[in-house]
Each structure stands twice: as structure tokens, then as C-alpha cells.
Chain A
Amino acid sequence: MVTVCATPGCGKYAKLQCPTCFNLNLDNPSNFCSQACFKSFWPIHKIYHQPSTGNSDDLPAKFKNYDFTGSLRPAKVTPMRKVPEGIELPDHAISSIPLKEKEAYRKNAPIIVYKPDEIEIMRHLAKMSREVLDIAGNVAKVGMTTEEIDIIVHNAIVERGAYPSPLNYYQFPKSCCTSINEVICHGIPDERPLQDGDILNVDVSLYWKGYHCDLNETFLIGNVDEQGKKLVQTAYECLELAIAICKPGVLYRELGNVIQKHAKKNGFSVVKNFCGHGTGRLFHCVPDVPHYSNNKAVGVMKPGHVFTIEPMINEGTWQDQFWPDGWTAVTADGKRSAQFEHTLLITDTGVEVLSKRAVGSYIDRHF
């Protein structure tokens, strides 16, 4: 079996095995191409050696007596990471409150029409954001923790001179959201190792030169069952079909009709309590983009609008509830949920997927 170096983004043939992994007799030991790579990735890799947490004795106090809807349990969350000096911060980075966002909602501000120079910045930002998500997708594998993914995402973002938008947003403690199985969205990266058969959504948002970009994907970890693959595939297609109708003149409310119809056709339901949103100068702003049908969302698409579509598709009920951490949204029946997200720009003639892949089209994925 050919193994690849465990250092993210290295991709070289690996001929050295980590001695600690060997001594611990881990099921999925990590291999490296060189001593240099091993040394540089060690600070992150070593976390992998810690014994897995997640049994109920270890639960933080706030989770005691909580009636979990599924089998996933929270694990240890490490302290909030800092960003290096010199990185431009959004307003919530210090105070945790996105004051400009609140102000815009309070004033009932209209949907922002972005100017060409702003769009140029957002295009470049979206390209970087895509790189970061792709890195997360490439490293995610059985045995790795979402904490490690968060470290990798955090470092990849700050390396690019950007700020991880979720960090300290209303006190969100991490630099990305990692949502496993029954977690619909806003899962907090922690020290639970990924298990064979998990579906994992990584939601990445960057802030750079005054603008935010927001995207996510659901990844298959190891061998996912057919139903799980179908769920992920359907979520992907829902996003794809919704993007296909975007153009000037279309109402934001129409997207939900397309998404719910496709989900229903495949026997799945659509999450209603979370929606897509305008993004750019603010992390979250109008328009609200619900993913369910017959919604009364306000707004008509116009050239220069920038927003996300991010359908969350469930195996069972659409109803959700929060874990006692106040962030993790899980399905009320504990069944799985999958999601995909793009940041989109309405052009004069249609739509541009700002957060598209560098190679191939955004519709080339199959699970």
C-alpha cells in the first residue's frame, strides 16, 4: 500500500512511520516523507496520540443530564487560539459582538450592491477560502480530531493574512465549524477522533481586507454507508440546483422551493431554522435565504449581490435542537444531516460561484 505523507499539503510518498504511533499500536498510524516534515507537523500530530475522550464520565458539567438525540458526544475543547499581530480584525474579534451587523439589521439596511473593485477583492478572498477548505477536506480522515482540523484551518487562514471569521463571533470558540453526523451546523471542533463512516462538514469563513467569504462541504470519512452517501450527494445536488436558477430578477424565496422539492424527492427533509445569508462587508446580513419552500423571504436578486446558499438536508425530521454549549445544532431525532455552501455573486446575466473549485466545475462532485 502506498502511503502519503501526513503533513497537510505535502503529498509526497511516505516511508517513515511516527514512532509514538507505532508504540501506541494505533489503528491508523501516521507516516511521513521526511524528518523535516515530521518535525514541522509534530505540534499538531502529537494531539493525535492522546487517548480518545467522549465517554459520558468526561462530559463537561453543562452536558450532565442532557438527553442527547444521537450517539455523538462532545469532547474536550481547547482554549481559543490567537491570531498573529498585523492581521486585520473584524469588529467581533475583540468584543465578540458584531456591532456593524447588529446595526445593519436594526436599521433594516437594504441588500448591498457591490462595486467592481470590491468584487475583485472578494474574488481573491474566495479563492483563498476555497484553498483553505480544500486543505481541510484533504487532511480529514479516520483518527484525526476536529481539533487538529481546526488548527490546520486556523494556520492556513492566518498564513494567508486573513482572519477566521467564526473565531469569537458571539464567542464562538474556534476558527471553523465541524459538524459530524447528526450535527446540522455550528459544531465546535474538539478532541474526538473521526470514526470510520462519519460524515463531516467543515465550514470555513475568512475575513480579509474588509470582506468575508463563507463556504462549507461535507466529507465522507472512511467507509460511509449507501444511505449516508445518498444524503451527502442529495445535499450537494440541492445546492447545485438552487445555484442553477440564480440570476437577476429571481426572488430569494424561490430557492427554497427548488431545494425542498429535490430533498423530498430523495426522501429527505430540509432544515428550516438556519438559512443562507448575505455576506461580504458583514459576515451575515440580508438577504435571508431560507432553504424551505413557501417561505416569505424578502428580496430580489440583482447584479452585485453577494450571498450564500447552504442547504442542510436531513435523513429524518427537519426539527433541530441545541446542545447545552449553545452552538451545536443537532437533529431532533439524532439522524444524520449533510450540508454544502457556496458564496455567490449575481452578475448581469446570471451567477458566479465565487467559492468555486480551482479545478473543474462546481458540479463535478459525486459521492
Chain B
Amino acid sequence: MSTETNNSNTSTITNTKTTRVPITLITGFLGSGKTTFLNYILNENHGKKIAVIQNEYGQSIGIETAMIVDSNGEKVQEWLEFPNGCICCTVKDDFLQSIEDLLKRSDKFDYILIESTGMGDPGQISSSLWVDEELESPIYLDGIITLVDAKHVEKHIEKSKASEKLSMNNSNNTHNSGESNDSKYYSTEVERQIAFADIILLNKIDLLDQNNLEKEIASVESKIRSINPMAKIITTERSKVPLDQVLNVNAYTPNIDLLKDYINNSEKQHHHDNKNDEKSCDQCSNHSKHINTICITQDFDVDLDEFTRWVGNLLWDEKKDSIFRIKGLISIKDDKEKYILQGVYSTFEVLPSGLYWSENEKRHNKIVLIGESLDQSELEESFKKLKQ
């Protein structure tokens, strides 16, 4: 007896070659302005038909009545229509089921937004939405947006450092303070949300010290970059952002220009970090469990199968659960085409990019990894073993 392939529930609806509907995942810590962002989308006149799927625990958006009970006593979803064409629903626990319900509706949608608070790890949700191309699903994952509260985010991150220090100092005694454990948990969540993002909305900048605004923004940005140097950062007030800047970004299609942006951002940040590190390593060594970014650059060609196995071993074994994002430009042996590596959490793919190495171009591999306490030389040595 066989099992159904993940996400297969959506594919039964396909068989026509209609345009596929993009999905954007929205994450953000409590108070980051996520609800305001969703309200903004639901009420703004943007000329798009957007569906919003929000989880049950989301508050204050005024859709508590959206969950109704049918004659069998089962909770069913009810979609709320908004005058601008948007619709919205709350779900109990099954995103994919809601998406399927949505696609069964006769009216067409341009876009689906999913809010992911309280639904566990953004990494797991995004890997389940990143459907295999072969399945010809009517949906595709466009990107992950994380909202960040510009005024409080540093405090959240600092808190986690503090509680970590505390737990390191009292390693035999970590359960003595429920409060510090809680704050550690939440703060780590903030960092993970930042680490997984393709786009970060640095929100509530109107609450920063307006006399010192540039400096304050730069400081928060640098903090965010130290966690995720790849993501695009957009500053916002009251979650307002032109939608074309954050939707239809195609973060999960093998697009080499986009990849180059990501890698350049990361390298800049990486060199910057290294300079600091040479002087004082305190920042990283004190917080061994902190999220960091590694950039591997090597100029030998790799075998496609061996490389894929190397990445698999890294994500599922050696660095299991501690690599959040991975992106890379890969030079495959005996292949003129440039390959692109992309990964979220435990899911990754290595695909040809459609672009070729030119004659006078130096073939090379560039891999950027975001994760928890990654070791540059360890990973570099491990990668070098692929050289024959």
C-alpha cells in the first residue's frame, strides 16, 4: 500500500494549464504589525484578488465569527469577502486543506497570503508549501515576508543572549527560572523568523527616535543583517508598503540575478563580520548558539550527485535542524550550465539555471548558509572533500 505524496491534495485540481497562484508566507513576532499589514492588504484598493489565510489564534482582525459549525458539529471554514475583492478565513490547523478549499472556489485569485504565527516553525511550513515542480501544482511558494518591530527587535534579541548566558552559567539549573526560559524561547523565535525571511519589513520606524532616525535604522539593519544578510530589508510605517515590492518576488525559482543579489549581500556582510571578528571574537564566542552566516567560495567543479549528497548530509545529519537557509551558485563537472542551490530548513534543490558559464569566466562555487553556530573552516573543509 502506498502513501500519498505530500501536497498531492492540491494537484487533483490541476490538469489545465492555467497560471499558477503565488503564495507568500507572512511571519512576525507579536507586536510587529502583522495584523496591521493584513488589514492594510484586505482594505487597500490594489486591484488584486487576494486571499488571506489566517490562523485561529490571530486576534483583532475582526474575523472571529468566520469559524462556523456545520450540521455534523464539525468546524468548517467560512470565507469572508471584502469589498475590494479580497477574502479572508481563519483555519484550525491545516493550511493545505484551506488552500485546496480556496482553489475549489469558482472565482479566481491572483494571490494567496498565509499568516503563520503560532503555527510552529516558519521553516517547516515553507518547506511543505515548496511543492515539487513535477507535481504541476496550481500554487507555488513565492516568498517569506517577516515583519520586524524596529523599536523592540534588538531588545528581543538581547534578551535571548542574556538568557543564554544565564543558562550557560547555571547549566545545572536551567529550569529554575520560567521567565528567562520563556523570553529565550520567544527571542529565538524572532531570530528564526528573521533567518527564514526573503523580505524583511522593518516596521514601526515612526516609533524610533526621529532626531536620530538614520543612525537608529542603520543599527537595527545591521543587527538584522548579522542574522540574515540575504534578505531584502524595506523600512515601513504602519506596515504600509507598495505591494509590488513584496509580492511576486519569485524567491524559489532558480533565478540567477536574484541569487547574485543574495550572494553579494551576504559577502559584504560576511567580510564586514570577519574584520570585526579578527579584533574581538567575543561577539560570536560568547553566544555560541547564535545565528550566523557562512560563505564558502571554491573554484573546483563538483559532481552533481556527490554535491547533492553533501548538501543532504549537511541538512539532515551533520547540521540537522541548525541550517535555516542555503543558497548557492554551483559549477557542475562537464556541464556548461550554471546550477543553483536553494534550501529552506530540510528541503533543498539543485537545479540548472538556464544560464551558461562564458569562455573567459572563472568557474566557481559560492554557497551561503544561514544557521545556528556554523563553523566556517569546518564547512569549508567538508566541502573541499568534493574536490577530486
A185 to B134 CA separation, bound complex (whole angstroms): 20
One of A108, A277, A293, A310 near B134 (C-beta < 8 A)? A293
Is A292 engaged at the interface, CB distance under 8 Å to the other chain? Answer: yes
Whole-angstrom distance between the Cβ of B101 and the nearest chain A Cβ: 17
16 further A-B pairs in the complex, CB-CB below 8 A; given A293-B134, A332-B15: A108-B124, A251-B312, A272-B8, A272-B134, A272-B135, A273-B11, A273-B12, A274-B3, A275-B5, A283-B1, A290-B5, A292-B134, A294-B349, A298-B347, A299-B312, A300-B313
Is A43 engaged at the interface, CB distance under 8 Å to the other chain? Answer: no
Task: Tell me which residues across on chain A come within 8 A of B1, comparing CB atoms.
Answer: 165-166, 169, 177, 185-186, 203, 205, 214, 283-284
Asked whether, in the complex, the Cβ of A296 is within 8 Å of the Cβ of B130, the reply is yes
Is B348 engaged at the interface, CB distance under 8 Å to the other chain? Answer: yes
Asked whether, in the complex, the Cβ of A274 is within 8 Å of the Cβ of B2, the reply is yes
**Interface code B349-378, partner A: CB below 8 Å = 1, 0 otherwise?**
101000000000000000000000000000
Q: Which 6 pairs across A and B sit closest by C-beta, in order of nearness? A: A273-B8, A274-B2, A277-B3, A284-B3, A275-B5, A292-B134
Is B308 engaged at the interface, CB distance under 8 Å to the other chain? Answer: yes
Which residue on B lies nearest to A108, using beta carbons? B124
Asked whether, in the complex, the Cβ of B308 is within 8 Å of the Cβ of A251, the reply is yes
Whole-angstrom distance between the Cβ of A343 and the nearest chain B Cβ: 11
Is B74 engaged at the interface, CB distance under 8 Å to the other chain? Answer: no
A4 to B363 CA separation, bound complex (whole angstroms): 69
A108 to B348 CA separation, bound complex (whole angstroms): 17
Asked whether, in the complex, the Cβ of B316 is within 8 Å of the Cβ of A298, the reply is yes
Task: Tell me which residues across on chain B come within 8 A of A294, comparing CB atoms.
Answer: 132-134, 349, 351
Whole-angstrom distance between the Cβ of A282 and the nearest chain B Cβ: 11
Is B4 engaged at the interface, CB distance under 8 Å to the other chain? Answer: yes
**Interface code A318-357, partner B: CB below 8 Å = 1, 0 otherwise?**
0111100000000010000000010000000000000000
One of A273, A283, A300, A322 near B309 (C-beta < 8 A)? A300
B: which residues have CB within 8 A of A? 1-6, 8, 11-12, 14-15, 124, 130, 132-135, 305, 308-309, 312-313, 316-317, 346-349, 351
Is A295 engaged at the interface, CB distance under 8 Å to the other chain? Answer: yes
Whole-angstrom distance between the Cβ of A337 and the nearest chain B Cβ: 12
A310 to B313 CA separation, bound complex (whole angstroms): 25
One of B6, B12, B313 near A288 (C-beta < 8 A)? B6
Asked whether, in the complex, the Cβ of A274 is within 8 Å of the Cβ of B316, the reply is no
Interface centre among B1, B135, B347 (most CB of A within 10 A): B1
Interface centre among A276, A277, A295, A332 (most CB of B within 10 A): A295
A169 to B130 CA separation, bound complex (whole angstroms): 29
Task: Tell me which residues across on chain A come within 8 A of B308, comparing CB atoms.
Answer: 251, 253-254
Is A249 engaged at the interface, CB distance under 8 Å to the other chain? Answer: yes
A: which residues have CB within 8 A of B? 108, 165-166, 169, 177, 185-186, 203, 205, 214, 249-251, 253-254, 272-277, 283-284, 288, 290, 292-296, 298-300, 308, 310, 312, 319-322, 332, 341
Task: Tell me which residues across on chain B come within 8 A of A276, comparing CB atoms.
Answer: 2-3
Task: Tell me which residues across on chain B come within 8 A of A341, comparing CB atoms.
Answer: 2
Which residue on A lies nearest to B93, using beta carbons? A106
Which residue on B lies nearest to A275, using beta carbons? B5
Do A321 and B12 contact each other (CB < 8 Å), given the known contacts A177-B1, A276-B2, A296-B348?
A: yes
Task: Tell me which residues across on chain A come within 8 A of B133, comparing CB atoms.
Answer: 294
A334 to B293 CA separation, bound complex (whole angstroms): 52
Whole-angstrom distance between the Cβ of B382 and the nearest chain A Cβ: 15
Task: Tell me which residues across on chain A come within 8 A of B317, comparing CB atoms.
Answer: 300
* A-B CB contact pairs (8 Å), 16 listed: A166-B1, A169-B1, A249-B309, A250-B309, A251-B309, A251-B312, A272-B11, A273-B4, A273-B11, A274-B3, A275-B2, A277-B2, A283-B1, A294-B134, A294-B351, A298-B347
Task: Tell me which residues across on chain A come within 8 A of B130, comparing CB atoms.
Answer: 296
Asked whether, in the complex, the Cβ of A300 is within 8 Å of the Cβ of B316, the reply is yes
Which residue on A lies nearest to B15, using beta carbons? A319
Task: Tell me which residues across on chain B come within 8 A of A290, comparing CB atoms.
Answer: 5, 132
Interface centre among B2, B313, B316 (most CB of A within 10 A): B2
Task: Tell me which residues across on chain B come within 8 A of A319, comparing CB atoms.
Answer: 11, 14-15
Which residue on A lies nearest to B317, using beta carbons? A300
Asked whether, in the complex, the Cβ of A274 is within 8 Å of the Cβ of B4, the reply is yes
Whole-angstrom distance between the Cβ of A183 and the nearest chain B Cβ: 13
Which residue on A lies nearest to B311, using beta carbons? A251
Which residue on B lies nearest to A320, using beta carbons? B12
Do A296 and B349 contact each other (CB < 8 Å), given the known contacts A274-B2, A290-B132, A312-B2?
A: yes
Task: Tell me which residues across on chain A come within 8 A of B347, comparing CB atoms.
Answer: 296, 298
Asked whether, in the complex, the Cβ of B5 is within 8 Å of the Cβ of A274, the reply is yes
Whole-angstrom distance between the Cβ of A271 and the nearest chain B Cβ: 9
Task: Tell me which residues across on chain A come within 8 A of B313, comparing CB atoms.
Answer: 300
Task: Tell me which residues across on chain B come within 8 A of A295, comparing CB atoms.
Answer: 132, 134
Task: Tell me which residues across on chain A come within 8 A of B312, comparing CB atoms.
Answer: 251, 253, 299-300
A294 to B1 CA separation, bound complex (whole angstroms): 23
Task: Tell me which residues across on chain B come within 8 A of A292, comparing CB atoms.
Answer: 132, 134
Task: Tell me which residues across on chain B come within 8 A of A272, comparing CB atoms.
Answer: 5, 8, 11, 132, 134-135
Which residue on B lies nearest to A311, using beta carbons? B2
Which residue on B lies nearest to A285, using beta carbons? B3
Task: Tell me which residues across on chain A come within 8 A of B316, comparing CB atoms.
Answer: 298-300
Asked whether, in the complex, the Cβ of A296 is within 8 Å of the Cβ of B12, the reply is no
Task: Tell me which residues across on chain B come within 8 A of A177, comparing CB atoms.
Answer: 1
Which residue on A lies nearest to B130, using beta carbons? A296
A277 to B1 CA separation, bound complex (whole angstroms): 9
Task: Tell me which residues across on chain B come within 8 A of A284, comparing CB atoms.
Answer: 1, 3
A249 to B305 CA separation, bound complex (whole angstroms): 11
Whole-angstrom distance between the Cβ of A71 and the nearest chain B Cβ: 21
Asked whether, in the complex, the Cβ of A288 is within 8 Å of the Cβ of B309, the reply is no
A274 to B12 CA separation, bound complex (whole angstroms): 12
